[in-house]
Structure formats: C-alpha cells, structure tokens
Structure 1
Amino acid sequence: MSAGRSSGQQGFTLVEILVALVVFSLVLLALERGFQAATLVFERQRGLLAAQAELGAVDRFLRALVQYADAGGARTGPVFVGRAHGFVLRGPLPQALGVPGGTEHLGQRADFRLSVDGGHRLVLAWVPYRHVTETTPPPRQEVLLTGVQDIGCDYYSAGHWDSGWYGNGLPVLVRIRIVFPAGDRRRWPDIVAAPVTEPAPG
C-alpha cells in the first residue's frame, strides 16, 4: 500500500502557483483594458450626443431668426442684407437670447448680424431697434457655437441660388452651411429656412 503522495505531489507546486498568478494577472489586465476602452467609447458617444444637441438648438434658433425676419419697406429701406459668409436682418428679439435686465426688451425688434469671428466662434451680434432720432446702444454678442471654421450662406429667389442678397423684401429661402475645421467630428446638414413674410418678386 502506498504511503501517500510524496512531498512534491502534495497541494500545488510553486510553479503551478506562479503560472496561476500570471494567468490571473493577464485576465485582470485584459479586463482593465476592456473597461478603459468601453469608458472611452462611452465618453466619446456622450460628447457626440451633447454636440448634436447643441447643434440642434442652434439649428432651431437660426431657422426662427430667418423665419421672422422683417422684409423692410419704403420708409425703412432694405433691412435684410445677405453675404456669402453671414447676413444682417431685423426681426423680433428671441426670448432664447436670455436678455439681461428681465423683460425690458421682450417683444421689441432688433437688428442682428450673424458671422464667424477671428476666434472661430459663430456669433450673433444684436442691438435693439431704435428710431433714427434715438441713440443706438452698443451691440451685444451671443456666442452660438465655438470651434467653427466658417459659415456659407446662399439665398434663393427667381428660381436660383445666389451668394448675396440686397434689396427690399426677402429671399424665398436662406441656406446656412456650418463648416467645421478638418478633423472635427461634428457634422450637421445645411439649414434651409423660409421667411414667412412675402418675398420680393424677381
């Protein structure tokens, strides 16, 4: 009858323990890297969703701004001037601007200028509309987006698109393209808005 396992066969050997520790360490390392990768994907996805939400808000704001633009008239002259990289218009002051000083300017009209500044920010500058006899206050600025390379604007009337608009009345459609720098993952389709006021003929 055998006297039992020799001392080298009892329990786990030192080599077996070391191998088990190495395997366990590799498993932990793989789990850690997998967790880091999943966290990175989650953070990227969250950043993209936040950027999309911000772009959606800007889209709605600009559509409303164009939609309610004034057409101008014989007394006021042209109040909508379109350029290839921005435009100037007059319209109701949006509540979304969060006007300082409470409701002082709510319901008033204002003159707006949309452009991209030297800091690559999409900026809306505005001043409350005043009669010519009143002193014009300094313009206020609202940063709509940061990290913008440029904007492209086109104006549709008389069956074709132009990169500029000047004259009484309004174009039929206004198209705004937000251009981001190379490597920026943000993307947004062109914003096409139609002023509700009857456009100028021809």
Structure 2
Amino acid sequence: MNSGHGGSQAGFTLLEIMVALVVFGFLMVGLTQSVSFGLRAWNGQARTITARGDLDATDRVLRTLIGQMAPGFKVDLPNIVGRAHGLAFTTRLPEGAPVAAFTPVDVSLTVDARHNFILRWTPHVHAVRVAGVQVIHTTTLLHGVASVDFAFWRPTPGGGAWLRSWDSRTPPALVEIRLRFAGDRHAANRRHWPVMVIAPMREPVF
C-alpha cells in the first residue's frame, strides 16, 4: 500500500498534465502576440524613417533649386512661370546631379497623373534651338502625392500679397509650397508636409 501510494506521488495525473498544457498554451499565445506586436512596431518605425528620409531629401532639393532661381536674361523670354499647381524656372541642380554644378538648367515642378511629385529638367540654352531634339529628364522626388500648391509673394509699398500665378523675369520675393499626400488607410503611416516658404535669390549669378 505504501509502495503504491509513493508511486502515485512521483508521477503526474492526467489533470495536472492538461493544466500544464493549458498554461503553456497561454504562454505561447502571449509570446506570439508580443513578437507580432514588436515586428509591427519595427516595420512601422522603418516606414516612418524611410518616409521621413524622403521628405528631408525633397526639402533640401527644393530649397536648393528655388533658392538659386535665376532672373530672366535680357535675350530670353520670361523664364519664371508659376501656376497654382506647377512652377518652371532656371536654376542649378544640387550637387551630385549628372551635369556640372555651374550649368544652368530649366526645371519644372509638378504632380503627374500617377501621384508622383516630379522634377523635369533640361540644360538651359540662351539661343533659339534650331536643330536636334530637346532631351527632358524626369526625376521623381516623392511618391503618393495628391497635389502640390504654389503661391508667390509680391511685396508692395503697402505690404504685399500672395499670388497664385507668376510670369516675370524677376523672381518672387517668396515661394510657398504645400504638398498634400494621397490617403493612407493607416493613420500612423500618413505623411505630413509642413508649409515651405523659400526666398529665391534676387541677383543673377549666371
């Protein structure tokens, strides 16, 4: 009797095994959920960093391009043309571009039908092009952009005003840029673009 009783104490009953399995199952579910949450948080952070990097790079490009906006040349037609949703002018490309840093280029900024915020550029020529095909290069600055809005500040003796269009050899005193991004179903992934206000150069250097 004593020997049989000691054997039952040394083993596990079916109920004890079932309880242990249930507890182990709860632990595995909790661990899986924790890992899944950690992966989602990591992926979300990675997307945020990537988006933030794209926005920062675009910010630098725009400040370089518009900051070096050149007034029109005497022999040229007015080459600063601004509209509510597009802007074209002569400038220099940022460092690292496939043209010499001192080479003037004609650029335009707009959003295409695929919701890409794009930069189009071609080398600037003072003379009228009589032969050959003008090669226009296109660079995508940002994806998923719903629209871009430009405004141009014209100072006056009484203060000044923001205009939605600009046609002149003289750069506006300020250029305002508002980017609106296409909707994202995940609120945490939505990108936000603060209003940019850039002061173009006022004197020609090329």
TM-score by length of 1: 0.87
Identical residues among aligned pairs (%): 33
152-161 or 176-185, larger mean C-alpha shift: 176-185
Q: Deviations over 1:18-49 (max 9, x none)?
A: 11011112101110111111110111011101
Q: Distance in 2 between matches of 1:7 and 1:14?
A: 15
Give 2:93's aligned amino acid: L
Aligned to 2:2: 3
The reply on whether 1:197 has 2:198 as its aligned counterpart is no
Tell me whether 1:130 sits opposite 2:125 in the alignment. yes
* Aligned alpha-carbon RMSD (Å): 2.0
Amino acid at match of 2:105: A
* Residue 119 of structure 1 pairs with residue 114 of structure 2: yes
Are 1:170 and 1:198, in contact at CA under 8 Å, matched by a contact in 2? no
| Residue of structure 1 equivalent to 2:16 | 16
Of residues 142, 157, 164, the one that matches 2:139 is 142
Work out the CA distance in 1 between the residues paired with 2:108 and 2:166. 14
CA distance in 1, matches of 2:46, 2:56: 15
Q: CA contact under 8 A between 1:84 and 1:154: conserved in structure 2?
A: yes
Structure 1 segments, 4+ long, off by >4 Å, are none
Counterpart AA for 1:188:
W
Instruction: Please say if residues 73 and 169 of structure 1, whose CA atoms lie closer than 8 Å, have aligned partners that are also in contact.
Output: no
Give the gaps of 5 or more residues in structure 1. none
Pick from 96, 103, 108 the counterpart of residue 103 of structure 2.
Answer: 108
Query: Could you list the per-position Cα deviations for residues 22-80 of structure 1 after superposition, in whole angstroms to 9, with x for gaps in the alignment?
Result: 11121011101111111101110111011001100000100110000011143223211
Query: 1:27, 1:63 → 2: CA distance?
Result: 54
| Contact 1:169–1:198 (8 Å) recurs in 2 | no
Q: Note if contact 2:70-2:203 (Cα within 8 Å) is conserved in structure 1.
A: no
Alpha-carbon displacement from aligned partner over 1:112-143 (angstroms, at most 9, x marks no partner): 01111111111111110113244462211111
Gaps of 5+ in 2: none
Task: Report the number of matched residues.
Answer: 193
Structure 2 CA distance for partners of 1:141 and 1:132, relative to 1, 3 Å: same
